[in-house]
Amino acid sequence: MKSTWDRLNVDIALLAVAFVWGSSYLVAKDLTTVMSAPAVLGWRFLVASAALGALWLLRVRRIPGRAEVWTGVLLGLTQAAVLFLETFGVAHTQASNAGLVISLTVIFTPLLDSLASRRWLPPSFFIAATVSVVGVALLVTGGGFRTPTVGDALMLGAAAVRAGHVTLMGALTANKPYSSITVTLIQSAICALVGIAFNPAEILGSAAHFSSSIWLNLAYLGLACSVFAFLVQLWAVRRTSASRARASLLMGTEPVWAVLVGVGLGGETLGWLGVLGATLIVAGCYAGQKIEAHFRAARGARAGAVTPTQMVQVSNS
């Protein structure tokens, strides 16, 4: 009963993350119209780092060890790579497109996990992956067949890098006595430094010209989409496998929220081919995560029937 309750708590928390991340694409796109993508990231993570620093002083106040520091630094660099691709990408495509293409992380993460463990996924998973890829091809055509935009390509790259980031996060933090707040603070500070390094003068000179709406958008990205989302994601990944956590995080809803916010609030349009593509992406990702979850559960049951040691190895994969 307790394990069922724990899984429910994880899924509810990750569903909330899916909403704020789904809505983040339109917010980031709006900000890139008034400042550069590196400046958006620099300010986003300055806000996040300030909040996390206060939280660290209240809850932790323990100097991290060398391994914990390096874990936070490495995850910060990979997270910065993901967010640079996402922010540059969303500046050159629709927010709804961005949220749908990034959902391919659900497909990429199990593939990466399978390659690393050399445990091959069933053929049905690759059928679901193909459906998702066809959906992306239809989505980026807009009102008619055309070459994908640079933004679409960048979002596809972000999905692949994000899959590596989540897999790495699981590998580096599973069963480690690290503070989630400490690791996330280090991660956030690294992202802020990377963003500032591109153009320090823009960071320092832009604040005087910010309107209240810009500050609100930055606060939303920094507090909801960074502090809340990163802490919950790290907390959840440390309680389950990387691909299971990521699939639960998305649950087919992050791209849906991105479309609803982009179309409902941003006035974006998809066209009939775009709607068909969006449907195929969500359906393929949902089917893929269900197939992967069933495959992982069956593999865990077989391993458990052999030795307890193998069961532990499966739970840590």
Residue 7 has pLDDT above 70, yes or no: no
Distance CA 34, CA 244 (A): 37
> Which two structure tokens, joined as six digits, stand for 28?
């980031």
Lowest mean pLDDT segment, chosen from 48-62, 134-148, 196-210, 294-308? 294-308
Residue 1 has pLDDT above 70, yes or no: no
Highest mean pLDDT of the ranges 150-154, 215-219, 309-313: 215-219
The 10 Å Cβ neighbour count of residue 190 is 21
The 10 Å Cβ neighbour count of residue 316 is 11
CA proximity to 207, closest of 47, 79, 53, 48: 47
Residue 153 CB partners (closer than 8 Å, separation 6+):
89
Question: Would you say the pTM of this structure is higher than 0.85?
Answer: no
CA distances 198 to 29, 39, 148, 191, 203, Å, are 19, 8, 27, 12, 9
Backbone angles phi, psi at 148, to 5 degrees: -55, 150
Residue 293 has pLDDT above 60, yes or no: yes
> Which two structure tokens, joined as six digits, stand for 50?
């300030």
Q: What percent of the chain has pLDDT over 90?
A: 22
Distance CA 139, CA 135 (A): 6
**Model confidence over 88-112: pLDDT tens digits?**
998 888 888 888 888 788 788 888 8
pLDDT for 76 equals 93
Helices H / strands E in the chain, number of each: 15, 0
Decide: 176 and 64 in contact? Cβ < 8 Å: no
Residue ranges of domains in the chain? 2-315
**Model confidence over 141-196: pLDDT tens digits?**
755 555 677 888 899 899 889 888 888 887 888 778 888 889 889 999 999 999 99
